[in-house]
């Protein structure tokens, strides 16, 4: 059966936001609290960095490894859909980011003040690429160990980069993180 | 949602599992944590690159034919893509919904493209950054969540 042309509708505009940050900082939680979440499998060539990390004894010919990242979808209207991609946290998956970053509206770098250094690579990456980003401090259990200004100093951020506090488990709090990012993107464009 | 998905995954993996010594229909070690029993690229016959060009993660795929169309020999995964893309879906969304790696979906969509069973078009976001009205609409939409 051939579909009649009337069955084809113009698909919504797709906007992409990345959620980055160290391993276990709450990226999955942040994406999941705003949207239905699907794990997305991607697989890439094994880099030298995986040797010794992945047990490949006996499967030496294996040339690729499967990486699972978080993928969320927020329907904004009939015309706009927002896609959230949680980037793989481990350093060895850096090369995956380049495809994700192409055409991305911006990025949220999620930080845990107990392990602030974990988000340095993400901050560096987006600064280098010129991708607009904000830093969201995930306050576990409502715990706020540092003020946004102290986090900004510790990360040596440009003064215009917003730093917000959030609770990644809370939908209201999480959605305001993305609102803050888009407001930042708009301010950058002006 | 996630329960349903893992349930499906379990069923599918069990189906592909080789018969054990006592031919148990399901082995306790073949759960989701064990990973897929069939390597992902078995679905594509070992092909890692699509017959057509590479597709962006957010490129849209739209079915031109219903999955029942008996035009060429299609694999179940091809038909699943056709039925999912009756309304245009992005490559990422297809991969997420069907629980297949993105690379596998690209190859399968390439087959469908070659057989003229789907059309694809880019979301071209990198070429045309969203204007202020679009961004404001996203902010309003998020606030209303």
Q: Which of A71, A103, A170, A186 to mutate: most B Cβ within 10 Å?
A: A103
Name the residue with tokens 């059966």.
A1
Closest CA to B58 of B96, B27, B28: B96
The residue segments making up the domain with residue A84 are 5-189
Tokens at residue B1, please?
């949602």
Q: How close does chain B come to A41, measured CA to CA in Å?
A: 4
Overall average pLDDT of the B18-37 stretch: 54
Q: How close does chain A come to B60, measured CA to CA in Å?
A: 8
Winning range, highest mean pLDDT, from A49-53, B46-50, B66-70, B139-143: B139-143
pLDDT at B72 over 90: no
- Give the list of residues 6+ apart from residue A66 with CB closer than 8 angstroms, or none: A41, A42, A43, B35, B40, B101
What pLDDT does residue B145 have?
86
What pLDDT does residue A9 have?
61
**Residue in B with minimal Cα distance to A33:** B145
pLDDT band at B27, cuts 50/70/90? low
Average pLDDT across chain A, whole number: 82
Report which secondary-structure segment, H or E, holds B104. Answer: helix B102-114
Q: How close does chain B come to A143, measured CA to CA in Å?
A: 24
What pLDDT does residue A57 have?
46
A1–B69: do the CB atoms touch at under 8 Å? yes
Instruction: Yes or no: say if B96 and B34 are a contact pair by the CB < 8 Å rule.
Output: no
Report which secondary-structure segment, H or E, holds A165. Answer: strand A163-166
What pLDDT does residue B80 have?
94
Q: Report the percent of chain B where pLDDT is more than 70.
A: 66
What pLDDT does residue A56 have?
44
Winning range, highest mean pLDDT, from A42-46, A149-153, A179-183, B24-28: A179-183
Q: Give the residue with greater pLDDT, A22 vs A46.
A: A22
- Which CATH number belongs to the domain containing residue A79 in this structure? 3.40.50.300
Winning range, highest mean pLDDT, from A113-117, A171-175, B8-12: A171-175
**Would you call A111 an interface residue with chain B, using a CB distance cutoff of 8 Å?**
no
Q: Report the percent of chain B where pLDDT is more than 90.
A: 37
Closest CA to B138 of A100, A169, A183: A183
Instruction: Yes or no: say if A134 and A184 are a contact pair by the CB < 8 Å rule.
Output: yes
CATH 1.20.272 for domain B39-127, yes or no, is: no
pLDDT tens digits, B97-145: 998 988 899 999 999 999 899 999 876 554 578 889 999 999 999 999 8
Using CB atoms within 10 A of its CB, is residue A23 exposed (0-12), middle (13-18) or buried (19+)?
exposed
Q: Give the residue with greater pLDDT, A141 vs A119.
A: A119
A13–B129: do the CB atoms touch at under 8 Å? no
Query: What is the pairing mode between strands A106-111 and A36-45?
Result: unpaired
**CATH 1.10.10 domain residues, chain B:** 39-127
What pLDDT does residue B53 have?
74
pLDDT at B70 over 90: no
Instruction: Tell me what ipTM this predicted complex has.
Output: 0.82
Average pLDDT across chain B, whole number: 76
Distance CA A151, CA A118 (A): 13
**Residue in A with minimal Cα distance to B70:** A1
Alpha helices in chain A (DSSP H): 27-34, 94-101, 120-129, 148-155, 171-189
Overall average pLDDT of the A126-151 stretch: 88
pLDDT band at B5, cuts 50/70/90? very low
Overall average pLDDT of the B5-31 stretch: 47
Give the sign of the dihedral formed by CA A138, CA A117, CA A31, CA B133. positive
Distance CA A94, CA A77 (A): 33
Look at chain A and report how many structural domains it folds into.
1
**Residue in A with minimal Cα distance to B95:** A40
pTM of this structure:
0.78
Query: Which residues in A34-145 belong to E strands, given as ranges?
Result: 36-45, 64-75, 80-86, 106-111, 133-138
Minimum-distance CB partner of A83 among B58, B62, B137: B58
Q: Which of A13, A17, A181 to mutate: most B Cβ within 10 Å?
A: A13
């Amino acid at each position: 059966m051939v579909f009649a042309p009337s069955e084809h509708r113009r698909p919504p505009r797709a906007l992409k936001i990345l959620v980055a940050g160290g391993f276990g900082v709450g990226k999955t939680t942040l994406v999941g609290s705003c949207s239905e979440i699907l794990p997305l499998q991607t697989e890439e060539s094994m880099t030298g960095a995986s040797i010794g990390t992945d047990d490949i004894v006996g499967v030496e010919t294996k040339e690729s490894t499967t990486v699972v990242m978080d993928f969320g979808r927020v329907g904004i209207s009939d015309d706009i859909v927002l896609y959230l991609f949680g980037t793989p946290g481990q350093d060895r998956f850096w090369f995956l980011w380049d495809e994700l970053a192409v055409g991305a509206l911006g990025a949220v770098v999620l930080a845990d003040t107990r392990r602030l250094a974990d988000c340095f690579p993400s901050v560096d990456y987006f600064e280098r690429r010129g991708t607009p980003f904000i830093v969201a401090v995930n306050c576990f259990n409502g715990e706020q160990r540092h003020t946004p200004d102290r986090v900004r100093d510790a990360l040596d951020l440009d003064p215009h980069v917003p730093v917000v506090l959030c609770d990644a488990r809370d939908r209201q709090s999480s959605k305001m993180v993305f609102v803050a990012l888009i407001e930042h993107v708009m301010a950058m464009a002006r | 949602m996630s329960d349903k998905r893992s349930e499906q995954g379990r069923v599918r993996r069990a189906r592909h599992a080789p018969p054990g010594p006592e031919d148990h229909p399901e082995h306790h070690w073949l759960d989701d944590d064990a990973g897929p029993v069939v390597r992902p690229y078995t679905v594509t016959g070992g092909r890692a690159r699509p017959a057509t060009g590479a597709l962006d993660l957010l490129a849209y795929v739209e079915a031109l034919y219903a999955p029942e169309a008996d035009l060429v020999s299609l694999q179940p995964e091809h038909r699943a893509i056709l039925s999912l893309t009756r309304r245009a879906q992005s490559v990422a969304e297809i991969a997420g919904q069907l629980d297949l790696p993105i690379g596998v979906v690209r190859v399968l969509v390439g087959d469908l493209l070659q057989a003229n069973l789907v059309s694809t078009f880019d979301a071209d976001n990198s070429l045309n950054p969203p204007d202020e009205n679009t961004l404001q609409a996203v902010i309003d939409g998020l606030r209303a969540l």
